[in-house]
Amino acid sequence: MIERKPCPNVQVNLQNCTCSYGSCEKRGKCCECIRYHRENGELPGCLFPPEVEKTYDRTIKRFIDFHSQ
Ligand code: SF4
């Protein structure tokens, strides 16, 4: 098993994170966030505008629908 080192960018990432799900353990750990959502056919919350992000619908379909308006 590969040992994971603490991310040196967590504090900077948290300052720039636009996700409104405050209790998520992946906040500030962008690589874990992307991996989690990718494995679920989704995108990270920061790729959505605030009005979509707050719905927690992170599907690729929702992303495309928004950008197709
Ligand atoms: S986008 Fe998803 S994984 Fe990333 S911080 Fe928000 S809820 Fe957590």
pLDDT digits (tens, 9 = 90+) for 3-55: 988 899 999 999 999 999 999 999 999 999 999 999 999 999 999 999 999 99
pTM recorded for the entire structure: 0.88
DSSP secondary structure string for all residues of 1-38: -PPPPPPTTHHHHHHH-----TT-TTTT-HHHHHHHHH
Q: What is the DSSP letter of 16?
A: H
**44 CB less than 6 Å from ligand 1?**
yes
- Per-residue model confidence (pLDDT) at position 2: 86
Q: What angle do CA 19, 5, 34 make, to 5 degrees?
A: 30
Torsion-angle region of 19 (φ positive above 0: left; ψ -120 to 50: alpha; else: beta): beta
- Per-residue model confidence (pLDDT) at position 4: 83
CA of 61 to the centre of ligand 1 (A): 17
- Per-residue model confidence (pLDDT) at position 69: 86
CA of 2 to the centre of ligand 1 (A): 23
**28 CB less than 6 Å from ligand 1?**
no
- Per-residue model confidence (pLDDT) at position 1: 82
CA of 30 to the centre of ligand 1 (A): 8
